[in-house]
Amino acid sequence: MLSEFKAFLSRGSVLGLAVAVVIGAAFGNVINSFVEDVLMPPIGLLLGKVDFSNLFINLSGTSYKTLEAAKSAGVPTLNYGLFANQIINFILVALALFVMIKLINKGMLAPARTCPYCQSAIPDAATRCPQCTSDLTKSAAEAEKA
């Protein structure tokens, strides 16, 4: 059982997943810093010097100037400013991943053509179809005659 577990851990897919999780966590920290330190201050300035991290609704009825003061007093709060930051973080992470995957797929996909015999997609450089094993060095006219 220990040898099976060792084989499982040494598979490329498990190691790749572990690397992806670590890189994803680091990437999340970068995006989080970008939103909180770079993006939100100018947006807050444009909206009248609003600090999104201090936007909250106090549920206790007493007044507190900052979220930290309310939290230190132990009162319940609805932190909609922090929630807005997290929504923006999520959208930026999703956008960044979308762009990265789109660029990776664009670079990884080989140009393709259609096999004249079985109509399957094949790489442009192929000389034999991987589906029907037809010889692709013949001209299109010869392929139509066959």
Find the farthest-apart pair of alpha carbons in the chain and give their distance in angstroms, rounded. Answer: 88
Q: Are strands 77-78 and 112-114 parallel, antiparallel or unpaired?
A: unpaired
99/105 Cα distance (integer angstroms): 10
Q: What is the pLDDT of residue 132?
A: 92
DSSP lists the bridge partners of residue 121 as 114
The beta strands (E) that lie in the chain are given as 57-58, 77-78, 112-114, 121-123
Q: Which residue has the higher pLDDT, 66 or 44?
A: 66
Q: What is the pLDDT of residue 142?
A: 57
Higher pLDDT, residue 143 or 50: 50
pLDDT of 105 over the 80 cut: no
For the cut 90, the answer to whether the pLDDT of residue 55 exceeds it is: no
- For residue 18, what pLDDT is reported? 82
Query: Per-residue pLDDT for 124 more than 90?
Result: no
Average pLDDT, the chain: 81
Q: Per residue in 3-40, pLDDT tens?
A: 887 777 777 677 778 888 888 888 888 887 887 788 87
Classified by CATH at the fold level, domain 2-109 comes out as 1.10.1200
Type of residue found at 109: L
Task: Tell me how far the alpha carbon of residue 78 is from its chain's centroid.
Answer: 29
Structure-token pair, residue 115: 């096999």
Is the confidence at residue 140, as pLDDT, over 60? no
Confidence band, pLDDT 50/70/90 cuts, at residue 75: very high
Residues 29, 104: Cα–Cα separation, whole Å: 22
CA distance 75 to 57: 11
Please name which of 74, 90, 76, 109 lies closest in space to residue 35, comparing C-alpha atoms: 90
**How much is the average pLDDT of 123-142?**
79
Going from N- to C-terminal start, the domains of the chain cover 2-109, 111-146
Full-model pTM: 0.53
